């Protein structure tokens, strides 16, 4: 996953071009009014995946260039930070610059690296951290198009593809500096029933089995048409991604399903792979994706939506976009803990796995024009076990298992084990075979993990009774042997026993992962009002909608309903 950039520079460490400066350093006070000592300097900052090395060239009063010699930041997600930040730092001669939303850690690493280089160049901390207020007036921009899509996640991108295919002029608005939203972060894969990839490996499946599996999870829906569309369209959704160039050939069971129907690429993260191929298609169709621009309000005239108002703080622009159809594809609200807590107060204070843009903007804009919501309480926390990882159990601080690990998406179990405890976490217990034989396991080892040569010893390290944890592991090993988890009915991820030392304990805190509730839509993805009638010209798809599925088929939903929304939004313009 990591891309290593190696740009070689003629001058490596520090080339000082100023004459007469012995050791290459000179205090600013000695430089009269000069801000820097002219030359090229290197600084290091901490990015998301490791060090970022900035190479900064300065004259006495200006920053001339900023390049990056080395970094291992995630391609795509981090690109806008490398592109935009240097420009602003050079313009304002300060590192007191806002991070690029969606790439905050990388941005901070870049700022740290450039700052270190500028300090080496003799600048004072005060000079290069001064806040330069941007007083540029906002420019008013008016655009007219057929279809505006709000949000560039999977739902927005697939809607854009179909709307353009149907001949519409499309504009996509994206609040963050990066494209792909939460979709680009998704693990797991896309659920599809009855695909040729399943058939190739002998998996027998069909949409009815998929439908029944979702219905068995205890979620209710006002209109099951939407779930029916999701399962019936799932095979074609997988094929859609494949035709755009994504590999979907690896199939795994997920979320406690006994049938393997989650399709993912052999290499690379599923969501990022899918978002990338869709983005490439959207761009090849000539559709403009306006980034760093947040939709603020739907424009309504005579009871019909006729456009969107949006603002770009970075570009200092206020947009009025006139459109014949508007598609809301702004994703869920996991990153808005206040809103999350409004619907499930037990989740107060939890973090999220989601992109920072997913704060429920679309839901609020839709409510303002009369939309109604469904299933808002259905909020999932991240299972401690990714479906890509097996041979691991999750235990509470009492040393016992408390749920079918792969299905642990409901807060109920988690809250039960944490009753009265301030800190909310579980321990993943695994052995050395599980650690070494699975690529997916490595990401769990990013920080120091309690390690011991016996379960007894491991228990001591994490403050659990040794005999209790030993009993839990022994019971589990018997379940693996007989392929029968009598306690919780787990059927997957039980290939090897937990028996080979050393043993590991990984502490996991749950995160809010997916919000299955949202705007009510009909089968044509029209946004519905309180009388169950479509709000004219307004469509919605993806995680921003509610009452479609239980929260475990998100990638399928965004493609199936995103495509329907795009087609219908285009049709509505005719």
Q: Which residues of this chain interact with ligand ADP, rule CB under 6 A? A: 150-156, 173-176, 181-183, 294-295, 329-331, 355, 357-358, 361, 542-544, 558
Nearer to ligand ADP, 39 or 156 (CB): 156
Query: How many CB atoms sit inside 10 A of residue 450's CB?
Result: 18
Rounded to the nearest 10 degrees, how much is the dihedral formed by the CA atoms of 351, 149, 210, 384? -10
Q: How far is CA 455 from the centre of its chain?
A: 35
CB of 230 to ligand ADP, least distance (A): 13
What's the rounded Cα separation, in Å, for the pair 375 and 423? 28
CB of 472 to ligand ADP, least distance (A): 37
CB 192 within 8 A of CB 235: yes
CB 310 within 8 A of CB 330: no
Nearer to ligand ADP, 321 or 393 (CB): 321
Query: How many CB atoms sit inside 10 A of residue 166's CB?
Result: 18
CB 561 within 8 A of CB 541: yes
Q: In degrees rounded to 5, what are phi and psi of residue 357?
A: -80, -10
- DSSP string covering 319-378: EEEEEEEEEE-----TT-HHHHHHH-GGGTT--BSS-TT-SSHHHHHHHHTTB-EE-TT-
Nearer to ligand ADP, 90 or 300 (CB): 300
Nearer to ligand ADP, 40 or 552 (CB): 552
What's the rounded Cα separation, in Å, for the pair 539 and 526? 4
CB of 373 to ligand ADP, least distance (A): 15
Residue nearest to ligand ADP according to CB distances in the complex: 153
- The DSSP symbol for 21 reads -
What's the rounded Cα separation, in Å, for the pair 108 and 94? 13
Nearer to ligand ADP, 205 or 361 (CB): 361
What's the rounded Cα separation, in Å, for the pair 44 and 56? 11
CB of 253 to ligand ADP, least distance (A): 22
Instruction: Pull the structure tokens for residue 312.
Output: 């770009």
Nearer to ligand ADP, 50 or 523 (CB): 523
Nearer to ligand ADP, 256 or 357 (CB): 357
CB of 186 to ligand ADP, least distance (A): 8
CB 424 within 8 A of CB 510: yes
Instruction: Pull the structure tokens for residue 125.
Output: 């901390």
CB of 521 to ligand ADP, least distance (A): 12
CB of 236 to ligand ADP, least distance (A): 18
Q: How far is CA 36 from the centre of its chain?
A: 40
- The DSSP symbol for 168 reads -
SS3 252: strand
- Give the dihedral sign, CA 184/185/187/190: negative
Query: Cis (ω within 30 of 0) for the bond into 502?
Result: yes
CB of 310 to ligand ADP, least distance (A): 7
Q: 85: part of which helix (H) or strand (E)?
A: helix 79-92
What's the rounded Cα separation, in Å, for the pair 214 and 218? 8
If 0-12 CB within 10 Å is exposed, 13-18 middle and 19+ buried, where does residue 358 land? buried
CB of 151 to ligand ADP, least distance (A): 3
CB of 156 to ligand ADP, least distance (A): 6
Nearer to ligand ADP, 283 or 456 (CB): 283
Nearer to ligand ADP, 53 or 282 (CB): 282
Nearer to ligand ADP, 60 or 315 (CB): 315
Buried/exposed 272-306: b ≥16 CB within 10 Å, e otherwise:
bbbbbbbbebbeeeebebbbbbbbeebbbeeeebb
CB of 363 to ligand ADP, least distance (A): 10
Nearer to ligand ADP, 390 or 568 (CB): 568
Nearer to ligand ADP, 40 or 553 (CB): 553
CB of 106 to ligand ADP, least distance (A): 16
Residue in this structure with the two tokens 């509505």, named with its chain if needed: 572
CB of 336 to ligand ADP, least distance (A): 10
Q: In degrees rounded to 5, what are phi and psi of residue 6?
A: -130, 100
Nearer to ligand ADP, 37 or 515 (CB): 515
């Amino acid at each position: 996953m990591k891309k290593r950039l190696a740009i070689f520079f003629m001058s490596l460490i520090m080339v000082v071009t100023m004459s007469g400066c012995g050791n290459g350093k000179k205090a600013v006070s000695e430089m009269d009014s000069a801000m820097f000592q002219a030359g090229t300097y290197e600084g290091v900052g901490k990015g998301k995946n490791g060090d970022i090395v900035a190479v900064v060239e300065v004259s006495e009063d200006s920053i001339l260039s900023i390049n990056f010699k080395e970094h291992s930041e995630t391609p795509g997600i981090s690109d806008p930070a490398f592109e935009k930040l240097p420009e602003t730092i050079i313009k304002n001669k300060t590192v007191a610059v806002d991070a690029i939303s969606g790439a905050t850690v990388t941005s901070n690493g870049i700022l740290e690296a450039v700052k270190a280089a500028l300090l080496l160049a003799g600048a004072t901390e005060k000079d290069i951290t001064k806040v330069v207020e941007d007083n540029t007036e906002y420019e008013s921009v008016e655009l007219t198009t057929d279809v505006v899509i709000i949000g560039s996640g999977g739902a927005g991108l697939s809607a854009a593809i179909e709307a353009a295919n149907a001949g519409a002029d499309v504009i996509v608005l994206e609040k963050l500096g990066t494209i792909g939203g939460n979709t680009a972060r998704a693990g797991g894969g896309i659920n599809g029933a009855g695909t040729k990839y399943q058939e190739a490996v002998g998996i027998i499946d069909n949409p009815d089995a998929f439908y029944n599996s979702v219905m068995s999870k205890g979620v209710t829906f006002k209109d099951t048409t939407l779930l029916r569309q999701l399962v019936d369209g799932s095979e074609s959704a997988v094929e859609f991604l494949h035709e755009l160039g994504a590999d979907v050939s690896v199939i795994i069971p997920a979320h406690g399903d006994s049938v393997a129907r989650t399709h993912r690429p052999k290499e690379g993260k599923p969501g990022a792979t899918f978002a990338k191929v869709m983005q490439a298609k959207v761009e090849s169709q000539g559709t403009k994706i306006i980034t760093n621009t947040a939709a603020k309000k739907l424009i309504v005239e005579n009871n019909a939506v006729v456009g969107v108002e949006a603002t770009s703080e970075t570009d200092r622009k206020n947009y009025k976009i006139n459109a014949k159809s508007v598609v809301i594809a702004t994703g869920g609200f996991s990153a808005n803990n206040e809103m999350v807590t409004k619907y499930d107060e037990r989740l107060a204070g939890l973090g999220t796995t989601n992109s920072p843009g997913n704060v429920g903007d679309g839901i609020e804009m839709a409510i303002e024009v009369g939309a109604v919501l469904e299933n808002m309480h259905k909020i999932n926390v991240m299972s401690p076990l990714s479906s890509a990882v097996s041979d691991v159990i999750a235990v509470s601080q009492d040393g016992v298992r408390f749920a079918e690990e792969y299905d642990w998406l409901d807060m109920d179990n988690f809250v039960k084990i944490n009753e009265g405890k301030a800190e909310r976490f579980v321990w993943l217990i695994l052995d050395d075979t599980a650690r070494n034989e699975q690529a997916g396991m490595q990401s769990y080892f990013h920080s120091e993990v309690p390690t011991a040569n016996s379960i007894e010893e491991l228990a001591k390290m994490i403050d659990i009774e040794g005999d209790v944890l030993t009993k839990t592991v022994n019971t589990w090993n018997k379940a693996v042997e007989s392929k029968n988890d009598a306690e919780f009915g787990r059927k997957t991820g039980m290939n090897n026993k937990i028996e080979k030392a050393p043993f590991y304990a990984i502490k996991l805190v749950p995160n809010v992962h997916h919000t299955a509730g949202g705007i009510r839509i009909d089968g044509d993805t029209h946004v519905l009002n309180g009388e169950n009638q479509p709000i004219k010209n307004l469509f919605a798809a993806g995680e921003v909608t509610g009452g479609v599925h239980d929260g475990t088929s998100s990638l399928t939903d965004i493609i199936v309903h995103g495509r329907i929304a795009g087609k219908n939004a285009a049709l509505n313009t005719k």
